[in-house]
Structure 1
Amino acid sequence: MIEVTMSVWATGQQPSRVQRRGRYLPGSMKHPAKMLPAIAAQVIATYTRPGDLVIDPMCGIGTTLVEALYQDRHAAGVELEQRWAHLAVANLAHARRVGAAGFGRVVTADARHIAQLLPDLRGKAGLVLTSPPYGLATHGHVRSTRDSGELGVRKWNHHYTDRADRANLAYRRLPALLDGFSRILAGSIRLLRPGGVVAVTARPYRHHGELIDLPGQIITLGRRAGLEFADRIVCLLCGLGDGTLLNRASFFQLHEARRGWAQGRPIHAIAHEDLLIFRRPSGDHLPAMHPVHIVPGHPAQCPSAPETASSADGPADFA
């Protein structure tokens, strides 16, 4: 297994839309909080080998899964919202059409029950890679007065599908979000082989001016779930130019920073993701799971046509 030799990864050399061009369907940019493909690709290359199984419990449009397929890994994902699950499936099919060698599947369901949703994959994954939602602080697209010449700020693609769905952690406040993500981590351990890796990308964010240390809280959750914390890596969201940094901060980050300076608080826009690396202990003992009520999901999988070659027939697909 390749070990990490550097603590800063230059994953922001190209904007997200450039990283996705040709590899993902155009509708993928509508998701309000996408993982950067370069981050997913480097995590997969560092912590897995060809033929390994990669799982994303909150797969969204399928960035983790798609990048796994392009590197001859196999992938499985869970996504709560049917709209994004279907888009993840379409992105997997697209990857297969353009030559990706791996296989993938997606289940539409609540990831807090992930171990029960993917029982045939227990103990088989080399890597679980995911990113939590940021509660009520979502991303999306923005046009300000400076961009449009019109007074005010217009936002779009900054919400998930159903804001009334209380099962969606993206609309829960921080304590409920952390509780739900803790359950996801505990279930994910069951899917890892001994020594397997859980990688979580997250960044601190500001809520009403207050800095929320989401990465630090996730480290605590991982340890409580029974994982061994192994590393913390900086994944740059800015580009590295010739002696300069190419700012790729979002409108929301810049707005918070400018407002802070105007109020006499010298804060800066965050230009990186924290990549938190955990390992499943090598022993057979796993912490007990709390009983949960499972709401059955339905599989949303790539078509069975030869050009997609995706299946959910069981663990043989990921041997």
Structure 2
Amino acid sequence: MGEVTTSVWATGQRPSRVQRRGRYVPESMRHPAKMLPSIAARVIGTYTRPGELVVDPMCGIGTTLVEAVHLGRHAAGVEFEERWARLAVANLGHARKQGASGFGQVVAGDSRHIARLLPDLVGRAALVLTSPPYGAATHGHIRSSRDTGAPGVRKWNHHYSHDRANLAHQQLPQLLDGFGRILAGCVDLLRPGGVVAVTVRPYRVRGELIDLPGHVHHLAEEAGLVFADRIVCLLCGLGDGHLLNRASFFQLHEARKGWARGLPIHALAHEDLLVFRRPQLPVGSRKLRDLRAERELE
């Protein structure tokens, strides 16, 4: 294995809504947990070349796919929720109208069976880029009393779905099991030496910090992937000698409540990008067959 590296990428120079404006259909803002386009574009530009295939097994509104086709790559995505899959298709169509040279496809289905959903792509992907869900509800969009003058906080666009089969609804053990199956299936889609990149951050449940990056690292290695890089993708902006805060209302609210209780909780200013490679092993090697067999028996 080569040396593992750590880098910092300034991916938060522009707010997410500005990064999407005009590049995605307006309805895209309804999704509660979109990947930052600048992160997707930087990953794709770093780890692939034009004409290569990029896959996102949990593609949401299609951020990975859109950035891939704009960079001359081809893309395929799977999305559990049909309404988000339709938005991903709409965003790909919008990208084509804007002159994107790559081609993309979206399949609505359960990516725990991704190799069955995309059988023609087995062994062809140069990059798998995705992010796990963080629960059934997210911060979404809010209006606080500071904005409206009325008491309380109003939230909208903060649910992935109401389908209990969605991984976002599962408790942590079931979420990890499902995401592990997705990673194992993605190994089949990768060409030898192909890359899996996962954007992920810790989160809190009833005040307890969940080390989701650590869990993802473990799941990827269980799937037979080799850890290669850790990138710190900044969500804040870099100003002239200071940071430009991009933290959400609820991140700041939880941090303030923590400090009031004597807990030094800080709002996150970055996402981890964990990068793994598929070993240079033949598709039919014993090691990979054993890994697939273990997953099928679970």
Fold shared, TM-score > 0.5 on shorter chain: yes
Alignment match, 2:45: 45
**Contact 1:240 1:246 survives alignment (8 Å):** yes
In the alignment, structure 2 segments of 5+ residues that lack a partner are none
1:247 equivalenced with 2:245 (yes/no): yes
Alignment match, 1:31: 31
- The residue identity in structure 2 corresponding to 1:78 is V
**Contact 2:137 2:158 survives alignment (8 Å):** no
In the alignment, structure 1 segments of 5+ residues that lack a partner are 293-319
What are the superposed Cα offsets for residues 185-204 of structure 1, whole Å, 9 maximum, x if unpaired? 00000000000000000011
Q: Higher helix fraction: Structure 1 or Structure 2?
A: 2
**CA deviation after TM superposition for structure 1 residue 211, in Å:** 1.1
Identity of matched residues, %: 75
Alignment match, 1:124: 124
What are the superposed Cα offsets for residues 13-68 of structure 1, whole Å, 9 maximum, x if unpaired? 00001001111000111101000000000000000000000000000000000000
- SS at structure 2 position matched to 1:257: helix
**Contact 2:199 2:274 survives alignment (8 Å):** yes
Alignment match, 1:311: none
Alignment match, 1:291: 296
- Distance, in Å, in 2 between the alignment partners of 1:149 and 1:128 is 45
**Contact 2:5 2:230 survives alignment (8 Å):** no
- Distance, in Å, in 2 between the alignment partners of 1:182 and 1:63 is 22
1:143 equivalenced with 2:147 (yes/no): no
Alignment match, 1:106: 106
- SS at structure 2 position matched to 1:177: helix
Alignment match, 1:168: 166
**Structure 1 segment 1-319 matched on structure 2, within 5 A:** 7-136=7-136, 138-161=138-161, 163=162, 165-284=163-282, 285=285, 286=288, 287-289=291-293, 290-291=295-296
Could you say if the C-alpha distance between residues 267 and 219 of structure 1 is closer, same or farther in structure 2, counting changes exceeding 3 Å?
A: same
- SS at structure 1 position matched to 2:175: helix
Give TM-score, length-normalised by structure 2. Answer: 0.94
- The residue identity in structure 2 corresponding to 1:246 is L
- The residue identity in structure 2 corresponding to 1:82 is E
- Distance, in Å, in 2 between the alignment partners of 1:62 and 1:191 is 18
**Contact 2:4 2:227 survives alignment (8 Å):** no
**CA deviation after TM superposition for structure 1 residue 291, in Å:** 3.2
- The residue identity in structure 2 corresponding to 1:244 is H
- Distance, in Å, in 2 between the alignment partners of 1:252 and 1:222 is 30
**Contact 2:137 2:160 survives alignment (8 Å):** no
**CA deviation after TM superposition for structure 1 residue 208, in Å:** 1.4
- Distance, in Å, in 2 between the alignment partners of 1:85 and 1:47 is 25
- Distance, in Å, in 1 between the alignment partners of 2:234 and 2:137 is 20
Could you say if the C-alpha distance between residues 4 and 148 of structure 1 is closer, same or farther in structure 2, counting changes exceeding 3 Å?
A: farther
- Distance, in Å, in 2 between the alignment partners of 1:134 and 1:259 is 21
**Contact 1:4 1:46 survives alignment (8 Å):** no
- Distance, in Å, in 2 between the alignment partners of 1:184 and 1:283 is 20
Query: Would you say how many aligned residue pairs link Structure 1 and Structure 2?
Result: 289
- Distance, in Å, in 2 between the alignment partners of 1:267 and 1:155 is 23
- Distance, in Å, in 1 between the alignment partners of 2:115 and 2:53 is 15
**Of 14-23 and 134-143, the range deviating more from structure 2:** 134-143
**Contact 2:12 2:235 survives alignment (8 Å):** yes
**Contact 2:32 2:158 survives alignment (8 Å):** yes
**CA deviation after TM superposition for structure 1 residue 5, in Å:** 7.8
Task: Compute the RMSD of aligned alpha carbons.
Answer: 1.6
**Contact 2:19 2:38 survives alignment (8 Å):** yes
What are the superposed Cα offsets for residues 145-172 of structure 1, whole Å, 9 maximum, x if unpaired? 11211111110000023x2x22201111
- SS at structure 2 position matched to 1:200: strand
- Distance, in Å, in 2 between the alignment partners of 1:193 and 1:91 is 27
- The residue identity in structure 2 corresponding to 1:275 is L
**Contact 2:144 2:154 survives alignment (8 Å):** yes
- Distance, in Å, in 2 between the alignment partners of 1:30 and 1:258 is 28
**CA deviation after TM superposition for structure 1 residue 273, in Å:** 0.4
**CA deviation after TM superposition for structure 1 residue 4, in Å:** 9.6
**Contact 1:206 1:256 survives alignment (8 Å):** no
**CA deviation after TM superposition for structure 1 residue 137, in Å:** 5.0
